[in-house]
Structure 1
C-alpha cells in the first residue's frame, strides 16, 4: 500500500489529461486506495465513480472478453461457439449489467469492481435506458459478431499451425527513464510463413485518428521486447468490427519517433501537476482545472463530485 500511486503513462491516461484535468486527478490520484475498506470517504467515492461504465463501453468490454475466450478455445482445441451462441452470450452480459445497475446499487457501492453500474442509469435515476441507445447496441451486436467471425485476424487464428501466438489481452509495460508505459494488446502473433509479426486491435466503435498512434506504441513495445531489428517485420492491423473492414499499417521510424515525442511532451505536462515528483504527490485538487464544456461534463463519471446537489 502506497500513500501515492506510482507514476506511469498510457495513451488513455494522456487522453484523460487532455480532456479534463479534474477528471485526470480523480482517476489517477484521488481514487487511489479507494478500494480499501479503511480508505477515506473521498477516495472511496472517487474509486466507486471511476468504475462506472456506459452502454457503449460495456458492450465493447463484453465483446473483447468473448473474443479473447473464443481465441483461447481455438488455440487449445476446444469447441468454437456458433455466431448465434456468441450473440446470445453478449446479450446475456448486457442484460446482467443492466439488472445490476437497477437492482444491486447497494452491492456495487461496497464492491464497485465486481458489479456493473451504467452511467445512463446512475445519473438519470431511472430504471430505463434511452431507447435510441439500446437500438444502436442491438444493431451493433449482430453486425459485430458476424464481422469478427469473417475477419482476417480470426482466419489467421484458425490457421494456427502457421502462426506463433504471443499474448492476448494481457497487461504489459515497458520502462522509459524508469517510468512504466502500459500497453494492452488484443492479439499478437508471428506469421511463420511470411516471417512477420502481426499486432491486432479489435474495434467495436468507429475509426479514429488516434488508432495509428496506439498501434505504433504497441509496435515500439514489441520491437524492444523481442529485439526485432526492422520495422518491416511488424504489421499493425485495426479490425473494425462495426464496419467489417480492417486497415493495416506498415510503420516507419517516423511513426515511432512521433509516439516517443508524444510521450515526452505528455509526461512533462503530467509532472507540472505534481507537488513532489519523487513521491508522485499531486497538487491540491483545486489546482486541477475543471472542464467548462457541458457536453463533456454530461458524460463524465464524476458529476456528483464536481456538481454536488445544492451547490
Structure 2
C-alpha cells in the first residue's frame, strides 16, 4: 500500500552522488524539495521543484528514446526472431522526438498538471521559445543517423542474432543492490549469459561520448549480479560498453580491488550525504540554506532548478 511520507526514503545511486558533487543546492531540490510535489495539497515550492525535476534536455531525451527503442527491439526479437531495418528504427526514434517537441511547445498545461507524463525540454522552457537551438538539432540529427546503424552492427546484436547458446536474463529494470543496510539503485541495460563460454555479459548502451565515470557504473552492475546470480568468479563476468555514437564495443573485466574501491566510494559518499541531514533516521534534510550553490554560475544555466535559485 502506498504511504505518503514526510521525507523520502534514503537510497544511493551514482547519479545522486554526481549531483551532490556538482551542486549541493541542486541535490537538495532534486531529492528533498521536490518530494511529495505530485500531491494536490503539496506546497507551491514542492510542486514547482517537482515540475522542474521532470524537465529533460534534447540530448537526455534522445538517449532515453534510443534506450526504449533498443529494449523493445531486443524483446521483440527474443519473441519473434525479427529485427527491423535501420530506417524503420530511425523513424521510431524520430517520431518519439517529434512527440517530445509537440509536448514541449503545445502542451504546456498538460506538463504543468502532469509533469511526469508530459515531456518538457529545458531548452524550450527556459528559452521561452517554440524553437530548439539549431546546433543541438544538428547534433541530434547526426546521432540519429549513426546510432541505429551502430546498434544493428554492434557486437552485442551479432551475438544475440547468431549465437544460439544465449540465455537472456533481464533488461532495463530498476534493481536494488544491498550494500549493508543501504539500498543502491542500478539499472542494467541488458544482461545475458553465453552458455557456450560460461560468461555473464552485462551490456550498457551509450548514446554519448565515453566518460571517466563509466567504469564506476559498470562496477555497480557487477556487484548486483554477484549478489543476485550464482556467478562462479569475477573472471566469468564481461562488462561491455556499446558506444553507439562511435560504433565501438569496449569490454572490461573487473578485479576485487576495483570492486572494493567502488564500495569505499559508496561509503564515503553516504557519509557526505549524511552531513546534510537534520535527522538521519528520518532522512530529514537540513534547511535549504545549508545546501550551498555551486560557484560555477555558467553551469547553473543548464540546471533544471535555475528559476528556484534565480527567480528574482
Q: TM-score, structure 2 length as denominator?
A: 0.97
- 2:262 matches 1:259: yes
The answer for the alignment partner of 1:46 in structure 2 is: 49
Deviation for aligned residue 1:154: 1.1
Task: Please point out which of 38, 56, 59 is paired with 1:56.
Answer: 59
SS of 1:161 mapped into structure 2: coil
The answer for the alignment partner of 1:306 in structure 2 is: 309
SS of 1:157 mapped into structure 2: helix
Deviation for aligned residue 1:158: 1.7
The worse-fitting range, judged by mean Cα deviation, of 151-160 and 273-282 is 151-160
Deviation for aligned residue 1:165: 1.1
The answer for the alignment partner of 1:205 in structure 2 is: 208
CA contact (8 A) 1:54 1:118 kept: yes
Task: Please point out which of 11, 22, 25 is paired with 1:22.
Answer: 25
Task: Please point out which of 222, 225, 237 is paired with 2:240.
Answer: 237
SS of 2:204 mapped into structure 1: strand
The answer for the alignment partner of 2:74 in structure 1 is: 71
Deviation for aligned residue 1:226: 1.1
Gaps of 5+ in 1: none
Task: Please point out which of 176, 179, 182 is paired with 1:176.
Answer: 179
Deviation for aligned residue 1:160: 5.7
The answer for the alignment partner of 1:287 in structure 2 is: 290
Give the RMSD, CA atoms, in angstroms: 1.0
CA contact (8 A) 1:75 1:160 kept: no
Task: Please point out which of 184, 189, 192 is paired with 1:189.
Answer: 192
Deviation for aligned residue 1:290: 0.7
CA contact (8 A) 1:173 1:183 kept: yes
How many residues were matched structurally? 309
Gaps of 5+ in 2: none
Poorly superposed stretches of 4+, deviation over 2 Å: none
SS of 2:164 mapped into structure 1: helix
CA contact (8 A) 1:74 1:157 kept: no
CA contact (8 A) 2:177 2:223 kept: no
CA distance in 2, matches of 1:177, 1:239: 31
Instruction: Give runs of aligned pairs for residues 27-176 of structure 1, distance below 5 A.
Output: 27-77=30-80, 79-159=82-162, 161-176=164-179
SS of 2:212 mapped into structure 1: coil
SS of 1:236 mapped into structure 2: strand
Once the two structures are superposed, what CA deviation does each residue of 1:10-51 show, in whole Å capped at 9, x if it has no partner? 000000010010010011111111111121111111010000
CA distance in 1, matches of 2:283, 2:164: 47
Once the two structures are superposed, what CA deviation does each residue of 1:117-142 show, in whole Å capped at 9, x if it has no partner? 00000001011111111001001101
- 2:15 matches 1:12: yes
The answer for the alignment partner of 1:217 in structure 2 is: 220
CA distance in 2, matches of 1:99, 1:8: 35
CA distance in 1, matches of 2:113, 2:199: 47
Deviation for aligned residue 1:161: 2.8
CA distance in 2, matches of 1:246, 1:78: 23
CA contact (8 A) 1:27 1:46 kept: yes
CA distance in 2, matches of 1:10, 1:61: 18
Once the two structures are superposed, what CA deviation does each residue of 1:44-75 show, in whole Å capped at 9, x if it has no partner? 11010000000000000000000000000111
Q: TM-score, structure 1 length as denominator?
A: 0.98
- 2:237 matches 1:227: no
CA contact (8 A) 1:173 1:182 kept: yes
CA contact (8 A) 2:57 2:122 kept: yes
